[in-house]
């Protein structure tokens, strides 16, 4: 059920893959080691070196941000729901190119969407979807 909710915003499911248990464990461990977490289910973005907030989210704004930072949008990223931060670990994680997230960013950031995160292990950054039509990118 959670996987269906996560994938609902994507117009096509091409190039989206659910992680198996071992890969999820590895990526979750890397995420926890590299991104500060407050309590159980919240990121401490104030402890990140850089934060950038985008209001009125759209694909062009997000693509421009990544282009300005000279980051490839073909890098693999991992999408997961907020409820899977420690100590929880039963929800799915999915892997896709960052370009897939960008092309569907309006729908991911929709008002009725669950709080979600996108994690990129290299270069390390996180996109936080917590409020409708607003994202925070931290690195």
Contact 136, 51 (CB under 8 A): yes
Q: Which domain holds residue 84?
A: 2-9+34-138
Cα(86)–Cα(98) distance, integer angstroms: 24
Sole residue written with tokens 């059920």? 1
This prediction has a pTM of 0.89
Structure tokens at 138: 């931290």
Whether 14 maps to a domain, the answer reads: no
pLDDT tens for residues 47-70?
888 989 999 999 999 999 999 998
Whether 24 maps to a domain, the answer reads: no
Looking at the 3D structure of the chain, how many domains does it have? 1
Whether 25 maps to a domain, the answer reads: no
Whether 130 maps to a domain, the answer reads: yes
Q: Which helix (H) or strand (E) holds 121?
A: strand 116-121
Q: Which helix (H) or strand (E) holds 66?
A: helix 59-68
Contact 26, 20 (CB under 8 A): no
pLDDT tens for residues 64-95?
999 999 888 889 999 988 766 655 567 889 99
Whether 42 maps to a domain, the answer reads: yes
């Amino acid at each position: 059920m959670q996987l269906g909710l996560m994938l609902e915003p994507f117009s096509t499911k091409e190039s989206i893959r659910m992680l198996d248990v071992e890969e999820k464990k590895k990526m979750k461990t890397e995420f926890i080691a590299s991104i500060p977490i407050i309590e159980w289910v919240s990121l401490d973005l104030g402890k990140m070196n850089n934060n950038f907030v985008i209001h009125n989210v759209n694909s062009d704004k997000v693509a421009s941000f990544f282009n300005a930072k000279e980051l490839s949008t073909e890098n693999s990223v991992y999408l997961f729901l907020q409820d899977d931060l420690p100590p929880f670990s039963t929800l799915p994680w999915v892997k896709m190119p960052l370009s897939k997230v960008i092309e569907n960013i309006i729908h991911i950031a929709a008002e009725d969407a669950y709080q979600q995160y996108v994690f990129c292990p290299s270069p390390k950054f996180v996109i936080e979807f917590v409020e409708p039509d607003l994202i925070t990118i931290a690195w």
